[in-house]
Amino acid sequence: MEEKTTNGNYRVIGTRPIRHDGIDKVIGRAKYGADYAFPGMLHGKVLRSPHAHARIKSIKVHKALKLPGVKAVVTSADLPEAPNRLEQAGEMAINPHYLSANILARGKVLYDGHAVAAVAATSPHIAEEALRLIEVDYEVLPPVMTVDQAMKPGATILLEELRNREDGDKQTNVAMHYQFKRGDLDEGFKAADFIVEREFETAMVHQGYIEPHNAVGIYNADGQSTIYCSTQGAFDVRSLSAQVLGVAPGKIKVVPAEIGGGFGGKTTIYLEPLSVLLSKKTGRPVKLVMSRGEVLRASGPTSGSKIKVKMGATKDGRLVAAQVWMAYEAGAFPGSPVGAGAMCIIAPYTIDNLQIDAYDVVVNRPKTAAYRAPGASNAALASETVLDELADKCGLDPLEMRMMNGVKEGSPQVVGAPFKRIGFIETCEAIKNSDHYKSKLEGPYRGRGVASGFWFNAGMQSSADVNIHADGTASVVTGSPDIGGSRASMAMITAEVLGLPVTDVRPLTADTDSIGHTDVTGGSRVTFATGMAVYEAAQDVARQLKERAAKYWEVKPEDVDFRDGVFSLKDSSSFEKGEGKPPMSIKELASKLPRLGGPISGRASVSGRGVGPAFATTCVDVEVDPETGKVQVLRCTVAQDVGKAIHPSYVEGQMQGGTAQGLGWALNEEYFYDDKGILRNTGLLDYRMPTCLDLPLIETEIVEVANPGHPLGVRGVGEVSIVPPPAAVANAIYHATGVRMAETPMSPPRLLKRILKKGAGEETQSAAAD
Amino acid sequence: MPTAIIPSLLRKYTDGRERLEVRGKNVREVIADLKRQFPALIEHLIEDGDIKPSVAVSIDGEIAPAGLLERVRPDSEIHFLPALGGG
């Protein structure tokens, strides 16, 4: 049953209807990528490198091809050479050469699990057997696993073409250096009464989506291909696959399946071009599905990092200077989120004097992909724990310290431009006023920590169609795969504008041939930008309906009023006198459309402007077992500025989901590589994500500071909640034990080591370095 | 006149200057004026006649989706940022 809206301005927005796709998902009818099957379909498997770093001397496939049931084998020799330079592919900037070399290794393998060849056969088992018959001769090279190893003088070089333009054009593993500066750093630190300087390390972590990557490719003799896959961006799969295959994007249709989680990891491609390539070679549909081990070894996690932060404050708590050095693991090819991390790390605060140097570093690990507010959680661990330490030194409540220095409308961003209306301070106030923060936390080894975070959010391009059916119901069609309940929000926006019950609006996600260009479901942009397109398309429908009502009544459109799904004449005196022309619902009008000019569809395409950035503040209570180092999260509350919550349940779901992932990142998750660079935890028993037994119910405080750039006040809500948890947990552990953690994960062995050192009087401030 | 804010690592091409007054009613005209003032700067912003894929242009705090065609007001601040992706 629908609850009443909490916002009197809206009829549907702000309520909590059941999601339209819920029943299919609950009973197992929803179709995910791996569920697709076609007559004559073959099964593909990928041969992956057993080495972290090696030159490929030769690949022999003839034995595999002779195995009965094997229909094709492909290597990078079957892909066209791609230009080695950054190019625009849709809204993404990619290097086609690196993209292609990640799909199938070209000359060198650069991480454990790097794809080397792919096989299509009549069964998955035959395809697997064929992989064992492919002979690859490797010249094994030393692996480079950390930014320290990669940046030291004389380091083994991964990509021979990478050059350091700041240092005599020498070969390097540093793909990019970003710098942001303002004010006078020396003067800033001179004005400080307290200075804290710390060094941090965070482990590489995976998004942990439950559904592995998958693709079914069908190549037609006319040169057109269709790809069925689970993706966050069908149009991106189309443009990226076209780049790799050397064909025009219009030659490929991508049908997005239901998606079992993505969190940024499904904004790129792995299997999609291989499915088309194998289909082209065999003339049959080819399906590939990754195993869990392949997902962890060879899809894109987010960067591990090393960060040094030095911050200064006056004794009354005013931040006066910040210096940051940060290096992020890009994986095998350039493109870590370190630029974003640099622009997020002190974004919640106004600091007049700062310098941030950020380095994108290639290492022998899988090429990183986006993960929920990419780069921001690592960054916040460093800045938010240093800020907490400064608050301690100043004798201030950590929330007061944040609010005293917090950004508001007109405050400068890291890059200098002023913020428009934002709600950072309001998130701090929401936590301060929460039942959680007001409650007392008592008992030994228990501590409370807070932290805040920032994420930009994105706009980009979206399209939407709204169709009115003969019975007065509507469908809303977009190109945005639904990864967080956005279909329900699209239906709600349509229902709000047209005055329909939300159950009378059917939301659909279309393939790339059936809707205008729509960028990736990422950057927390769907409810903002696709929602804006839906709002405009529904307005278009309302305008057309009004014209038809005017035609029916033989009046001008401006004489027709439309409110809550009912058309009426502005001058209703004739009806009141019993002379006809009573008000008319959409349902009544829809039935008359065939005689009033035919069907009605509205459409809109937007290039989303008016993006509203997001802030979140999180409070965590923990209890530490001093004998094992295990941390139990007792209570956790997140406050987030969401602009306007279209569907509060799904907004809360995003806040809780991001927080849960951030807590997993804080406490348990990490890639374990051995000294040869081989990943040792390739399953979810060993790659330890939190389960419902590990976490309390995460409490949410929705803060609504309307985004002036959106007709409904919407801000993106999908990412920022993952930013504060690692720092909040580190701060809570400090208040529980007196030990400041400077690394993730803060797992039992790591924390126990710190506690034992503290007990032995060796340290109270941990350093990531040892 | 609009103001172009030069990223710190590119200030070596602008005699160390961070803020430059520029002429132009859109980003294309602003870039042309920057080229006139500091020719060596341009290869770090423009490639094949368009904004480099690694660079995002922000006008008055908002990423400019129209790129070179984005309109600029007389009091606008134009920033050049690293292009970003979300999750």
- What pLDDT, on the 0 to 100 scale, is given for residue A64? 98
**A375-457+612-759: what CATH class?**
alpha beta
DSSP type of residue A490: H
Q: Which of A398, A307, A312 is CA-nearest to residue A351?
A: A312
Cross-chain residue pair A522–B58, CB shorter than 8 Å: no
- What pLDDT, on the 0 to 100 scale, is given for residue A770? 39
3-class secondary-structure state, position A727 = helix
Cross-chain residue pair B86–A93, CB shorter than 8 Å: no
In angstroms, the separation between the Cα of residue A361 and the nearest Cα of chain B is 16
Cross-chain residue pair B77–A461, CB shorter than 8 Å: no
Domain assignment of residue B44, yes or no: yes
Residues with Cβ within 8 Å of A632's Cβ and at least 6 positions away in sequence, in order, are A622, A623, A624, A625
Q: What is the fold of A22-30+459-608?
A: Aldehyde Oxidoreductase; domain 4 (3.30.365)
Residues with Cβ within 8 Å of B26's Cβ and at least 6 positions away in sequence, in order, are B68, B69, B70, B71, B72
Q: Which residues of A touch B85 (CB under 8 A)?
A: 92, 267, 337, 340, 370, 374, 522-523
Element (H, E) at A63: helix A62-66
The type of residue at B4 is A
In angstroms, the separation between the Cα of residue A160 and the nearest Cα of chain B is 21
Tokens of A670: 């990490």
Cα–Cα distance between A232 and A247 in angstroms, integer? 22
Report the chain A residue with the minimal C-alpha distance to residue B19: A416
Domain assignment of residue B87, yes or no: no
Cα–Cα distance between A477 and A494 in angstroms, integer? 11
- What pLDDT, on the 0 to 100 scale, is given for residue A693? 92
- What pLDDT, on the 0 to 100 scale, is given for residue A2? 42
Q: Which residues of B touch A419 (CB under 8 A)?
A: 61
- What pLDDT, on the 0 to 100 scale, is given for residue A3? 44
In this structure, are strands A699-703 and A631-641 parallel, antiparallel, or unpaired? parallel
Element (H, E) at B63: strand B62-63
Cross-chain residue pair A340–B66, CB shorter than 8 Å: no
Cα–Cα distance between A497 and A478 in angstroms, integer? 17
Domain assignment of residue B20, yes or no: yes
Cross-chain residue pair A417–B83, CB shorter than 8 Å: no
Cα–Cα distance between A428 and A81 in angstroms, integer? 52
Determine the length of chain B: 87
In angstroms, the separation between the Cα of residue A579 and the nearest Cα of chain B is 54
H helices within A67-160, ranges in order? Answer: 96-103, 124-133, 147-151
Domain boundaries, chain A: 22-30+459-608, 375-457+612-759
Cross-chain residue pair A415–B9, CB shorter than 8 Å: no
In angstroms, the separation between the Cα of residue A732 and the nearest Cα of chain B is 27
3-class secondary-structure state, position A667 = helix
- Are A22-30+459-608 and A375-457+612-759 in the same CATH fold? yes
Higher pLDDT residue, A574 or B36? Answer: B36
A677: left (phi over 0), alpha (psi -120 to 50) or beta: left
- What pLDDT, on the 0 to 100 scale, is given for residue A5? 45
Domain assignment of residue B78, yes or no: yes
Element (H, E) at A89: strand A87-89
- Out of B62, B77, B84, closest to residue A340 by CB: B84
Cross-chain residue pair A457–B86, CB shorter than 8 Å: yes
* ipTM entry: 0.91
Tokens of B73: 């007001």
- What pLDDT, on the 0 to 100 scale, is given for residue A8? 61
Burial of A124 (0-12, 13-18, 19+ CB in 10 A): middle
Rg (C-alpha) for chain A, rounded Å, is: 28
Which of B8, B11, B78 is the best residue to mutate to test the A interface, defined by the most A CB atoms within 10 Å of its own CB? B8
Contact A243, A96 (CB under 8 A): yes
Sign of CA dihedral A333, A339, A344, A345: positive
Cross-chain residue pair A610–B54, CB shorter than 8 Å: no
Cross-chain residue pair A719–B7, CB shorter than 8 Å: no
Tokens of A691: 């389960």
Element (H, E) at A59: strand A54-60
Residues facing A269 on adjacent strands: none
In angstroms, the separation between the Cα of residue A387 and the nearest Cα of chain B is 25
Provide the domain count of chain B. Answer: 1
- What pLDDT, on the 0 to 100 scale, is given for residue A608? 81
Alpha-carbon distance values, A266 to A25, A200, A260, A261 (Å): 20, 28, 10, 8
Q: Which residues of B touch A522 (CB under 8 A)?
A: 85-87
In angstroms, the separation between the Cα of residue A590 and the nearest Cα of chain B is 38
CATH of the domain at B21: 3.10.20.30
Q: Which residues of B touch A608 (CB under 8 A)?
A: 65
Which of A178, A414, A415 is the best residue to mutate to test the B interface, defined by the most B CB atoms within 10 Å of its own CB? A415
- Out of A373, A610, A611, closest to residue B87 by CB: A373
Angle between helices A486-498 and A531-553 (to 10 degrees): 30
Report the chain A residue with the minimal C-alpha distance to residue B87: A264
In angstroms, the separation between the Cα of residue A455 and the nearest Cα of chain B is 9
Cα–Cα distance between A651 and A255 in angstroms, integer? 27
Tokens of A123: 């069964």
- What pLDDT, on the 0 to 100 scale, is given for residue A759? 86
Cross-chain residue pair B87–A609, CB shorter than 8 Å: no
Residues of chain A with pLDDT under 50: 1-6, 767-770
Tokens of A716: 């993106």
Contact A662, A740 (CB under 8 A): no
| Domain span holding position B31 | 3-82
